[in-house]
Chain A
Amino acid sequence: AQKITQTQPGMFVQEKEAVTLDCTYDTSDQSYGLFWYKQPSSGEMIFLIYQGSYDEQNATEGRYSLNFQKARKSANLVISASQLGDSAMYFCAMRELEGGFQKLVFGTGTRLLVSP
């Protein structure tokens, strides 16, 4: 079963509008963490935001916020005031402990296109 599910292969948004990228996860661990990474066409993965399972407040980093709903096992990324430079692939990932080692499990990604 998929541990991280991103159901939107592609999303379109107009410049200056807000957009929500969906992410649901599956884990039985009590302690875990959710990440969002951005991958521009250059290929490098850029860390955007992190939410720990015990964090009570939703994480925010500038124009990025993570809408964490623990009971629903969702960790959606909200980008406010989209910019042309936000056009990229976005990956949701979960930190999990396996065999004593911390690993990241990634979703399949959402391609965001921001139009003028």
Chain B
Amino acid sequence: DVKVTQSSRYLVKRTGEKVFLECVQDMDHENMFWYRQDPGLGLRLIYFSYDVKMKEKGDIPEGYSVSREKKERFSLILESASTNQTSMYLCASKARGDYEQYFGPGTRLTVT
């Protein structure tokens, strides 16, 4: 079974802090994704990576950056957290050429 894990289920941070959200997948997938989920807006793509050290902006990249130093790990970085980044963050991965994305359990981030 594909397993995608995220470092925290719940996280509370203060405004201005640097925040790291980690995602690890164990299926050797080339592609990895970060989404944020907000009520009434569905899931929106922040960044994705199609291979190690490669990254592409999604639909809402402002205020975020990413890092993919190893194939299995994709990190989302909030350089200076703000209250409007309070949200649910979901990581996903898929194999190149496949359609289905496999999701992690999500991290609910609160910025106070």
Using a CB–CB cutoff of 8 Å, the interface residues on chain A facing chain B are: 4, 9, 33, 35, 37, 42-47, 50, 91, 93, 95, 99, 101-104, 106-109
Contacts and interface: CB of A to CB of B under 8 A. Distances in A.
Contact of B106 (A43, A46, A104, A109): A43
Interface string B89-104: 0101000000111111
9 contacts: A43-B9, A44-B105, A50-B99, A50-B100, A91-B43, A103-B58, A106-B43, A108-B42, A109-B42
A43 B50 contact: no
A104 B40 CA distance: 17
Interface of B: 9, 31, 33, 35, 40-45, 48, 50, 56, 58, 88, 90, 92, 99-106, 108
A100 to B, nearest CB: 9
A91 B48 contact: no
A4 B59 CA distance: 15
A107 B42 CA distance: 6
A95 B99 contact: yes
A66 to B, nearest CB: 14
A45 B48 contact: no
A44 B42 contact: no
A43 B108 contact: yes
Contacts of B44: 106
Contacts of A95: 99
